[in-house]
Structure 1
Amino acid sequence: MPVLVLDAGNALFKTLADGQDATAKLRAGLLLEQMGAQGYTAMAVGQRDLVLGVDFLKKKTKGAKLKLLSANLVDAKGQPLFPASVVTSVGGLKVGIIGVSPASPDPQAPAGGSDGSAFLPPGVRGLPVGPAVAAEVKRLRQTAPVDLVVVLAAVPYVESVRLAQGAEGVDFVVQSHDGRGVGMAQRQGVSTLVPPGERGRQLAKLEVSLEGTGPFSDLGEANRARESQRMVEANIARVNERLKTEKNEDARRSLQETLASFESRRDALARTAAASGPATGRTYLLTYLQLGPDVASDATVQQQVERIEPPGSTGH
């Protein structure tokens, strides 16, 4: 199965205060090195990737296959600091990958980045997210042309929802910034918003089928419906057991109403579980690989990690 490995950003530093920590700098360099060695195609530049500035990122990725992307980060003169996108072929399909970073704070907005912006290093400015993505999608769709467009959105969750709702031509938005952990892919307007998992603990796996046309449908929906159906059926069994022994008429009426509600819910879930996507539709399935003790470490990489963060240290 053809595989495309991406990172939504905010991967290099744990906090914005890590700039003075020599160990954190070594760790960030090792992460970039390993992303390249493990075949990552692209990473969005997030707020926590800019702790040591743009020059650090460019130096560490010079000549690397890994591409750092941002459609909206510019320097003091308004010139782009990173490529906006990259196009790659996967299994005979052309995939356009766009990176986007937080916008600079609005001088008129309350302090603290509550408008969905972030504080960026001196000399770095983040243009508004939506227009930057829209312009790059239009360029890719018209000039590349691509079969699939993925946005790596290293922006706050609220901003990523707005992006997914209004970004015509975008198929998937993969979001980082808030450390929200695992979840379900959600259809948001025109695009599907994908949570990438918690940093270093899970790997999100998105299986996509582009056979056919139309909006993407979620193959995991039927599986979730079957799980919920089993729970509802267990509740139905418990209510029936109570009805066998309950003598009070008011209590029995209440239980019968509850039973009717559960049965209606069970039947609706059964219909969802039995339904299949349209023959002409495109599909996706999101699962997570838990990177726990049962996943073996690469011995060479582990040695490099332990040179920076020895076992028993705070960061290990």
Structure 2
Amino acid sequence: MLDAGNALFKTTFSGGDPQEKARAQLLLEEMDALGTTAMAVGARDLTLGADFLRAFQKKGKMKLLSANLVDGAGKRLFDASTVVSVGGVKFGIVGVSPAGPVPRQDGLTGQPPLPAVLAEARRLREKDKVDVVVVLAALPALEASTLSLQSGKTLDLILQSHDGRVSTLAQRDDYALFMTAGDRGRQLARAQLTVQGPRGPFVDLSQQERAQQSLKIVEDNLAQARRSLAAARDASVQATWKETIAGLEQRKKELGPLSVPGGAKAGERAIRFSYVPLGSDIPDDPDIKTRVERIEPPGSASH
């Protein structure tokens, strides 16, 4: 379990409310209790300063990572990465923070992300012999996307958070697959990986499955539109249905190549990426709910 950062505070500046700290502490404690392996240090995690996070790091198991966040003397404040083995696969996890001075944090600066991430990823591959490099990118989407475009074959997966953008499906700009984290704790992003054979880009199986589902919907709509055209007697209504049919046929043509069954070939790596909504069908944990409501009572503006 991983987190791409920006999880602890609602803004990058403190309003002086003591509940801000209590809320952040609760989040850190529960993420740790859930077994989260690592979290990148994002802009909205530094609201109370780096010392607040480092105090947690001394007692918590969850790693707080940033390959590029340094103090006034140029010293790195957090580990750049961690290595974990899951299912016989060795993962190198790299964290990265936004570039530039951290607001209201004297001397705290994010160095340029790309060289910091690449240097750490290469070290992980050469020294630790990791099978997969995952970047937890607490960066604006455009900057995180740049990592994919300029990293060659060094990075495999990039999980991004920062902008509060709507969650999207996995996308590939070059070699690495780029994914956004779950939105405001209301859903989880899940990546199921098959890692076998030599290194290579991950084949996105979910893209094929989505295309097959979309094609089925288009074909159903196309059949209905053709029945409606056959039943129409008014010329203007017929013209509307013909236009609709033409659009659906074009969409079917576009989806055809994407939906061809095949999946990953022997020796290829594959990923199936999806989101798990955390809706009312998933019951609350009574203890956590009680702790939350002490900080954000039901009916309050923040609840």
**TM-score of the alignment, normalized to the shorter chain, above 0.5:** yes
Pick the aligned partner of 2:164 from 179, 192, 208.
Answer: 179
Name 2:69's counterpart in structure 1: 73
Q: Using the alignment, how far apart are the partners of 1:165 and 1:281 within structure 2?
A: 21
**Contact 1:212/1:282 (CA < 8 Å) preserved in 2?**
yes
Q: What is the one-letter code of the residue matched to 2:262?
A: S
Q: Quote the Cα distance in structure 2 between the aligned partners of 1:185 and 1:60.
A: 32
Within the candidate set 275, 283, 290, 1:296 is matched to 283
Alignment of 1:117-156 (within 5 A): 119=103, 121-156=105-140
In structure 2, relative to structure 1, the CA distance for the partners of 1:312 and 1:240 (3 Å cut) is same
1:207 corresponds to which of 192, 195, 198: 192
Query: C-alpha distance in 2, partners of 1:301/1:150?
Result: 30
Identity %: 48
Match of 2:205 among 199, 208, 219: 219
The amino acid across from 1:163 in the alignment is L
CA distance in 2, matches of 1:18, 1:305: 20
Say if 1:155 and 1:177, in contact at 8 Å, map to a contact too: yes
Matched, 1:51 2:47: yes
Counterpart position of 2:29? 33
Q: Does the Cα contact within 8 Å between 2:89 and 2:195 map onto a contact in 1?
A: no
TM-score normalised per structure 2: 0.91
Does the aligned pair in 1 maintain the 2:68–2:76 contact within 8 Å? yes
**1:279 aligns to what?**
266
Structure 1, gaps ≥5 residues long: 106-117
For residues 302 and 92 of structure 2, what CA distance do their matches in structure 1 show?
A: 36
Counterpart of 1:114 in structure 2 is: none
Determine if contact 2:40/2:96 at 8 Å carries over to the other structure.
yes
Deviation of 1:17 (Å): 3.0
Cα distance in 2, alignment partners of residues 293 and 161 from structure 1: 33
Q: Which shows bigger deviation, 293-302 or 145-154?
A: 293-302
Mapped pair 1:8 → 2:1: no
Cα shift at 1:279:
2.4
Whole-angstrom CA distance in 2 between matches of 1:255 and 1:181: 34
Q: 1:256 to 1:120 in 2, by over 3 A?
A: same
Distance 1:78 1:246, change over 3 A: same
Task: State the partner residue of 1:234.
Answer: 220
Partner residue in 2 for 1:193 = 178
What residue identity is the alignment partner of 1:29? Q
Distance change (3 Å), C-alpha of 1:34 and 1:299: same
Aligned residues: 300
**Alpha-carbon offset, residue 154 of structure 1:** 0.3
Question: C-alpha separation between the residues in 1 aligned to 2:273 and 2:283?
Answer: 23
Superposed displacement of residue 174, structure 1 = 0.4
Moved more, 288-297 or 231-240: 231-240
Using a 3 Å threshold, how does the CA distance of structure 1 residues 306 and 264 change in structure 2: closer, same or farther? closer
Q: Show the counterpart of 1:108.
A: none
CA contact (8 A) 1:220 1:286 kept: yes
RMSD: 2.2
SS of equivalent residue, structure 1 residue 20: coil
**Contact 1:196–1:203, Cα closer than 8 Å, also in 2:** yes
Which whole-Å CA distance do the structure 1 matches of 2:290 and 2:244 have between them? 58
1:24 to 20, 26, 36: 20
Letter in 2 for 1:210: V
In the TM superposition, residue 153 of structure 1 has moved relative to its aligned partner by: 0.3
Return the offset for 1:258.
Answer: 6.0
* Structure 2 portions without partners, runs of 5+: none
| CA distance in structure 2 between the partners assigned to 1:171 and 1:233 by the alignment | 35
Instruction: Go from structure 1 to structure 2 and tell me whether the alpha carbon gap of 1:309 and 1:248 turns closer, same or farther (over 3 Å shift).
Output: closer
Shift of 1:242: 4.6
1:222/1:275 contact within 8 Å kept: yes
Displacement after TM superposition at 1:138 (Å):
1.0
- 1:180 touches 1:197 (CA, 8 Å); kept in 2? no
Q: Could you tell me which amino acid in structure 1 is paired with residue 275 of structure 2?
A: Y
Structure 2 Cα separation of the partners of residues 262 and 290 of structure 1: 30
